[in-house]
Amino acid sequence: MNKKYYETIDGLEKSGVCREYILGWMGGYLGNPSREEQRVTEAYSVGYEDAQNQSTDNAKRFAES
């Protein structure tokens, strides 16, 4: 892994972003196949897509209050 990966995950966790978004982001960043259809949530899908685009633009939508 590289420094950007670890810094991004740490930042997402400290910002209170929901775990599903973070798991999606991890999978997308690493190039893992997406989850099977019945286990995919909106947060996971958005995180996965953000990571493929090398961003966290939508993370704030999934911050837990």
Residues 3-14, mean pLDDT to the nearest whole number: 95
CB 44 within 8 A of CB 23: yes
Question: pTM of the predicted model, to two decimals?
Answer: 0.92
- Among residues 26, 31, 33, which one has the least CA distance to residue 56? 26
Ordered by start, the domain boundaries in the chain are 3-62
Q: What pLDDT score does 64 carry?
A: 78
| pLDDT, tens digit (0-9, with 9 covering 90-100), for 30-59 | 999 999 999 999 999 999 999 999 999 999
Alpha carbons within 13 angstroms on the beta-carbon side of residue 58 total: 18
Would you say residue 3 has pLDDT above 90?
A: yes
Residue 54 region by backbone torsions, left for phi larger than 0, else alpha for psi between -120 and 50, else beta: left
